[in-house]
Chains A and B, each alone.
Chain A
Amino acid sequence: MATEIKSPTFPESVADGTIANWVKQEGEAVKQDEVIAEIETDKVVLEVVAPFDGMISKILKPAGEIVLSAELIAQFEQQGAVQETTKEPVIESNQPTETPSNTTSTSSSDVVKENGPATKKLLKEHNLEASEVSGSGKDGRVTKADVVNHLEESISAAPAPIPTAKIVQSAPQTGAASDRHEERVPMSRLRSTIAKRLLAVKQETAMLTTFNEVDLQPIKDLRAKFGKDFEAEHGVKLGFMGFFVLAAVHALKKFPVVNASIDGNDIVYHGYQDIGVAVSTDRGLVVPVIRDADNLGLADVEKSILDYSIKAKDGKLSMADMDGGTFTISNGGVFGSLLSTPILNAPQTAILGMHTIQDRPVARNGEVVIRPMMYLAMSYDHRLLDGKEAVAFLIAIKDQLESPEKLLLNI
């Protein structure tokens, strides 16, 4: 009996995903819980596993195809059932077959939009996906006429072909220019999502940035003095990031509107502080979220940052790790950035940008002294936050960082 394999249920923030590849092919034997497919979403790669021993009888969504949450992607044949169907569809066996209770099969109420045979043939012949052609048929099905018209339009219109899933190399020109190599590759899903999101934030919010600087001498002193003990006690290094997270939490509690977000015409105030920490990976920037940071101590924060960066490096961050967040901290300092204006992580209202720590001359009590200084930048959505609040919020963070002992006194 065939079982339906569906894509995992995506969280609300994820609209769709792309089948990155089919690890197992049609007819290939697989064991229960073996990975059969990988689905790339704009946040992570999700794995689809075999519900039980058997094989994929039919792949319905080939690699590269876009899938929705819990969409039918393949038919799966349970082992044993395979041979039976090839023989006669009679009795299963005299002992009751144990059907695993955790089968992924669900009722197939979803309409599978099958296109007509001529449509499928024409799409294949032109290396097109049905999703690339707008369908005029029943329930949006693509008809042969749709494909014919699509082909005609794409010939007459686009001077530059839009790349689909293959690398298109521009034809090398003869002669001297032959080394002027150009390569066209499609954006990865993560890249195109980042592009879309960032552009949307620029267009849909009233974003501006306020700056300040922080003297990190007190924290440096603290680290010099207790760093070793801290590591011995907690098994994690005493870094700067933990202080920033806690300083942000403290300031967010003081200014709850910074922790809020806009939803339509409403302002949603969040009664918790989930702090996203931007981490750079090979695939692009990801933002795992430290949840309920207000309940965490410095060591807990440092530990979860460490966990996340290991996971991120291995590409093992899960969707749950990155969902949500009420405020984000981005550290451009690790790459040496002196000053930058971070872009909001929608729908959050503010983002804090950390930068490189530089020994700079500053005036202290009428004298020039050298201090480890860092520029702070906070971009915020002016629709929700007035300049006064934003500036005060950033100063609150600065104060907290310059007097880390305040953490102890909770002031």
Chain B
Amino acid sequence: MYDVVIIGSGPAGYVAAIRASQLGLKTACIEKSFDASGKAQLGGTCLNVGCIPSKALLDSSHRYSDALNHLADHGIEVAPPKLDIPKMMARKDQIVSQLTTGVSGLFKANKVTSIFGSAKVLNASQIEVSLNGEVETIETKNIVIASGSSPINIPVAPIDQKNIVDSTGALEFTAVPKKLGIIGAGVIGLELGSVWARLGAEVTVLEAMDDFLPMADQKISKDVFREFNKQGLNINLGCKVTSAKPGTKNVQVSFDTKEGSSEATFDKLIVAVGRKPNTENLLGEDSGLSLDERGFIPVNEVCETSVKNIWAVGDVVRGPMLAHKASEEGIMVVERIAGKHAEMHYDLVPSVIYTHPEVAWVGKNEAELTEAGIEFQSGSFPFAASGRALASGESTGFVKVIADKKTDTILGVHAFGPSAADIVQQGVVAMEFGASAEDLGLTIFSHPTVSEALHEAAMAVNGKAIHIGNRKK
């Protein structure tokens, strides 16, 4: 009998398992994925086909693009750099393998039992695990469902992982496609588009919605749109794909725009329209759990399901499908199982798009605050006025701090530019402590750093920025 059995070893599951074991709970973690060699594959989407491999390729492609386009600006002449895509992929695979092996090592060190196979929740204390036809029932006092999510398949563009691929296939191209189509201008589409555009693909992004990055600050969305088009991502809004016909060597895509129907031919087509929770065949008839209309497991704010002692975290529940949100939920749940007090601040889950420059934000944006009727003041600072950003040749973008008009409490931090994710992270720490814009203004920032833009933006909230003119209030 286990104290906790966790279904899924992604960033929600493996983190929860390690913490559960640290808390003295007898813990097991079930994973159903196997790699090409038939070995179990821990780490979930994030480590295997998500955050980590995409960042490996984003970094490699950025270096290539830098060598190709920007080294000369620094007075460094190099022979045109040559691409070795198989080597680039091998490097990525090596990083993935290192990290997944690392998870397995952490499990051993923390005495977490790894169980391989597909899990089905029978009831609050029993899980059926099947592996190659063999079925085993595991008894436990608590169940944490952390089964993750998968790319959504759309009927108009069925994935074949050859010419029409999802985000997983897009990390496995063996050559740079000459013409690349991407359905969806969300975070995943933009990151993958960036990778292949930098490596030389002619990228066309087809987005059904009329708004670009609607969840981000409006000014940032506008600047990002302009910048990415400049970088060679041809982003088309309001384009509804009606069909995608794979040929032997390419894909014929038809789509409707406001102007009428249109067609395009791509060597490869990436479908990145979103992700759906992995809840198929997960729940037994007598589990007592039911799914909502979109396949998610309904939970309350502390991830309790409708059945006592069954919990669900990460991509299978409401909220953004982000690794750091999933990990925090995993920790919260096992802490609660161990009888401790734990909760999450869902308002303070930061979002990042790992393009170059990066886009990141936390908290509310101006449009949301206006709609909620909350009075605010905001302050911005452009990287073009940052000494360090200029020295690095990374002066695109800005940082914006939004604070409550009366109390000065920081309500949102938004950044587009160099190290935007790390800059916003500083805002997250401050916001966790209920900081005001003045608090950041009164904090010493090292000079010269790009983080100084956060300092200046915070001071700008109260019209006190030093290195730019302040707006008259």
Contacts and interface: CB of A to CB of B under 8 A. Distances in A.
Most buried by B among A116, A121, A136, A149: A116
A148 B433 contact: no
Nearest to A120: B442
A116 B442 CA distance: 9
Interface string B424-447: 000000001111101101110000
B379 to A, nearest CB: 14
Interface in A85-128: 116-119, 121
A287 to B, nearest CB: 42
Contact of A137 (B406, B434, B442): B434
Given A137-B434, A138-B432, A144 B439 contact: yes
A143 interface: yes
Interface in B371-420: 404, 406-409
B408 A141 contact: no
Nearest to B436: A144
A144 B442 contact: no
B328 to A, nearest CB: 16
Q: Give the interface size class of chain A.
A: 10 to 19
Contacts of A149: 407
B463 to A, nearest CB: 15
Contacts of B439: 116-119, 144
Given A148-B406, A148-B408, A143 B434 contact: yes
A117 B443 CA distance: 7
Given A117-B442, A118-B438, A118-B442, A137 B408 contact: no
Contacts of B434: 116, 136-138, 141, 143-146
A144 B408 CA distance: 7
Given A148-B406, A148-B407, A116 B432 contact: no
A121 B442 contact: yes
Interface string B172-185: 00000000000000
A145 B436 CA distance: 7
A268 to B, nearest CB: 33
Contacts of A137: 433-434
Contacts of B404: 145
Contacts of A117: 438-439, 442-443
Interface string A128-151: 000000001110010111101100
Contacts of A138: 432-434
Contacts of A144: 407-409, 434-436, 438-439
Contacts of B435: 116, 118, 143-144
Nearest to A148: B407
Contacts of A143: 409, 433-436
A118 B408 CA distance: 10
Contacts of A118: 408, 435-436, 438-439, 441-442
B403 to A, nearest CB: 10
Q: Is the interface of A mostly helix, strand, loop or mixed?
A: helix
Nearest to A119: B439
A138 B433 CA distance: 6
Nearest to B437: A118
Contacts of B442: 116-118, 121
Query: Taking each of A119, A136, A144, A148, which has the highest tally of chain B beta carbons within 10 Å of its own beta carbon?
Result: A144
A136 B431 CA distance: 12
Contacts of B407: 144-145, 148-149
A146 B433 CA distance: 12
B433 A116 contact: yes
B74 to A, nearest CB: 39
A396 B434 CA distance: 65
B408 A145 contact: yes
B436 A141 contact: no
A49 to B, nearest CB: 36
Nearest to B444: A117
A220 B279 CA distance: 96
A147 to B, nearest CB: 9
B102 to A, nearest CB: 31
Given A137-B433, A138-B433, A145 B409 contact: yes
Contacts of B432: 138
A146 B434 CA distance: 9
A372 B439 CA distance: 74
A149 B404 CA distance: 12
B434, B435, B439, B443 — most chain A CB neighbours (10 Å): B434
A148 B432 CA distance: 18
A116 B437 CA distance: 11
Contacts of B408: 118, 144-145, 148
A121 B436 CA distance: 12
Contacts of A136: 434
A145 B443 CA distance: 17
Nearest to B430: A116
B438 to A, nearest CB: 4
Contacts of A116: 433-436, 439, 442
A106 B23 CA distance: 28
Contacts of A141: 433-434
A117 B436 CA distance: 9
A300 B442 CA distance: 64
Contacts of B438: 117-118, 121, 144
B456 to A, nearest CB: 16
Contacts of B409: 143-145
A118 B443 CA distance: 9
A70 B312 CA distance: 44
Contacts of A146: 434
Contacts of B436: 116, 118-119, 143-145
Contacts of B441: 118
Contacts of A145: 404, 407-409, 434, 436
25 contacts: A116-B433, A116-B435, A116-B439, A116-B442, A117-B438, A117-B443, A118-B408, A118-B435, A118-B438, A118-B439, A118-B441, A121-B442, A137-B434, A141-B433, A141-B434, A143-B433, A143-B436, A144-B436, A144-B438, A145-B408, A145-B409, A145-B436, A146-B434, A148-B407, A148-B408
Given A117-B438, A144-B408, 11 more contacts: A116-B436, A116-B442, A117-B439, A118-B408, A118-B441, A119-B436, A121-B442, A137-B434, A138-B433, A143-B435, A144-B434
Query: Top 6 A-B pairs ranked by shortest CB distance?
Result: A145-B407, A143-B434, A117-B442, A144-B436, A118-B438, A137-B434
